[in-house]
């Protein structure tokens, strides 16, 4: 039902096709958020400050996961383009090399986080009351990288072929394992935040053999250790800009976390809770950009530039409609949802977290617009443009705005919430200028 054939990608109704691709991606993103939501819920049962310990580590994990995101963007672009060309042997080769690269990079990311974890926490000036819990979570989650990478690439390979449903099934199974394992490791074993991290890691580890088996069984990958250096180079050239952009963005979030940490552990907890909740609402707006990537790649692979433009316009219309639905919903229900996460939540934490959610959901359309633009540039292999937009959003727009607001206003931690959402609007305007002025359909901006 949620598989789009080559014929549908190239000649079918774009609204229906985008819905068929994107609905599973919405569920996938909900599942990915669920990992953090479940951890936040169970960790919040220990103490409201422990949520800050987990949220402090998230940008570090995202820095490592940026490599998986880059490989996924490259995989979807290259596979969907070769599907458009009807070259299925090349798609198989690309997929095999993606699996090899994600294993190597996953091991590397794990080692880096383990080696530099404590120095980073010290640089953060992590509050003493959450230092041990934050480090315990960091150690446990570092072993998740290899499995996270493989599951991410599995989804990308499937999506490149127009099948976004299969990846959702794997991630859903892993999320269910996480829900079952969290209370066991956190409370029965008494491992606290370390238990939450191990539950997340083990849940993906259990699904990794199945994912690899299905790719092999259906002939979507070959021998992952039979390496073609030319193809590795082709993948890396497309993946590096996207990886760097996401890495720069994630590292920018580390700097932003440092700004938040200056307001204390309660502010970190408010950010952690608010970010998880607003992410759930915004998924319904943001996911369309991921589905758009497949359409752009297939259309350009078939040399149909007019259809690529039409796919973008269609996706933008859907984003506008979903924003009109989910913005009011987020504003009306956020306080009730926050109270579900933290037992006996203090008024200060409630107000701080709710304030963040209000700002985040009000700019949901801008974030969906930004994700659609990234979908266009990733799908056309212009991942360098995506890198420039993703990196500049945090480094050259958000952080300077935070500094300015801290200097000239007395709004406290709200300065950070305001800066986050202003940066989403500004970078979308910049991205639209690229879309209109740069010949992205006929050439790729290279490093």
Q: Is residue 1 part of a domain?
A: no
- High-pLDDT (> 90) share of the chain, %: 57
Q: Is residue 370 part of a domain?
A: yes
Q: Is residue 444 part of a domain?
A: no
Mean pLDDT, range 390-416, rounded to an integer: 91
Q: Is residue 269 part of a domain?
A: yes
The helix/strand/coil state of 49 is coil
Q: Which two tokens stand for residue 37?
A: 């939501």
Residue environment code for 271-282, b if the CB has 16+ CB neighbours within 10 A, otherwise e: bbbbbbbbbbbb
Burial of 129 (0-12, 13-18, 19+ CB in 10 A): middle
Whether the predicted pLDDT of 2 surpasses 70: no
Mean pLDDT, range 298-307, rounded to an integer: 93
Helices (H), 161-191: 165-183
Beta bridge partners of residue 163, listed in sequence order: 3
Mean pLDDT, range 36-61, rounded to an integer: 79
Structure-model confidence comparison of residues 260 and 313, the more confident one: 313
Beta bridge partners of residue 3, listed in sequence order: 163
Mean pLDDT, range 419-430, rounded to an integer: 94
Q: Is residue 306 part of a domain?
A: yes
What gap in Å lies between CA 307 and CA 299, rounded to an integer?
A: 6
Q: Is residue 443 part of a domain?
A: no
Whether the predicted pLDDT of 269 surpasses 90: no
Taking CA 383 as the corner, what is the angle to CA 249 and CA 308, rounded to the nearest 5 degrees? 125
The range of the structural domain enclosing residue 193 comes to 6-437
Whether the predicted pLDDT of 260 surpasses 80: yes
* Residue 263, pLDDT score: 87
Q: Is residue 406 part of a domain?
A: yes
Among 52, 41, 54, residue whose Cα is nearest residue 261: 52
Half-sphere exposure of 297 (CA within 13 A, CB side): 33
Confidence class of residue 446 from pLDDT cuts 50, 70 and 90?
Answer: low
Alpha carbon dihedral 403, 258, 265, 183, in 10-degree steps, equals 130
What gap in Å lies between CA 202 and CA 167, rounded to an integer?
A: 18
Tally of domains in the chain: 1
Q: Is residue 445 part of a domain?
A: no
Question: pTM score, two decimals?
Answer: 0.78
């Amino acid at each position: 039902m949620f598989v789009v054939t080559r014929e549908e990608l190239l000649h079918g109704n774009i609204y229906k096709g985008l819905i068929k691709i994107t609905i599973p991606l919405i569920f996938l993103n909900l599942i990915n958020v669920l990992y953090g939501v479940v951890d936040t819920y169970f960790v919040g049962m220990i103490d409201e400050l422990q949520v800050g310990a987990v949220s402090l580590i998230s940008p570090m994990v995202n820095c490592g996961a940026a490599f998986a995101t880059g490989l996924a963007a490259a995989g979807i672009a290259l596979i969907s383009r070769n599907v458009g060309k009807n070259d299925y042997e090349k798609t198989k080769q690309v997929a095999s090399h993606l699996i090899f690269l994600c294993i190597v990079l996953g091991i590397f990311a794990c080692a880096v986080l383990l080696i530099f974890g404590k120095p980073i926490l010290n640089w953060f000036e992590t509050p003493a009351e959450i230092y041990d819990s934050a480090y315990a979570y960091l150690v446990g989650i570092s072993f998740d990288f290899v499995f996270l990478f493989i599951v991410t690439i599995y989804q990308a390979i499937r999506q490149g072929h127009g099948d976004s449903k299969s990846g959702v099934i794997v991630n859903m199974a892993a999320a269910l394992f996480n829900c079952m394992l969290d209370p066991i490791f956190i409370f029965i074993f008494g491992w606290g935040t370390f238990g939450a991290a191990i539950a997340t890691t083990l849940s993906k580890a259990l699904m990794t053999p199945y994912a690899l088996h299905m790719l092999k069984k259906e002939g979507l990958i070959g021998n992952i250790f039979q390496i073609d250096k030319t193809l590795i180079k082709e993948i890396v050239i497309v993946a590096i800009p996207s990886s760097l952009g996401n890495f720069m963005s994630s590292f920018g979030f580390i700097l932003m976390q440092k700004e938040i940490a200056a307001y204390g552990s309660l502010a970190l907890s408010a950010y952690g809770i608010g970010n998880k909740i607003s992410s759930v609402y915004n998924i319904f707006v943001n996911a369309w950009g991921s589905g758009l990537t497949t359409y752009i790649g297939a259309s350009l692979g078939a040399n149909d530039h007019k259809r690529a433009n039409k796919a973008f316009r269609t996706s933008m219309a859907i984003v506008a409609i979903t924003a009109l639905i989910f913005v009011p919903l987020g504003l009306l229900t956020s306080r009730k949802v926050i109270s579900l996460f933290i037992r006996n939540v203090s008024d200060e934490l409630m107000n701080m977290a709710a304030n963040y959610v209000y700002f985040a959901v009000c700019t949901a359309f801008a974030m969906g617009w930004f994700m659609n633009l990234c979908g266009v540039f990733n799908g056309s292999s212009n991942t360098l443009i995506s890198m420039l937009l993703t990196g500049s959003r945090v480094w050259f727009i958000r952080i300077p705005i935070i500094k300015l607001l801290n200097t000239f206003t007395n709004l406290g931690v709200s300065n950070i919430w305001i800066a986050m959402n202003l940066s989403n609007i500004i970078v979308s305007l910049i991205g639209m200028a690229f879309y209109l002025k740069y010949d992205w359909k006929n050439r790729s901006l290279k490093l």
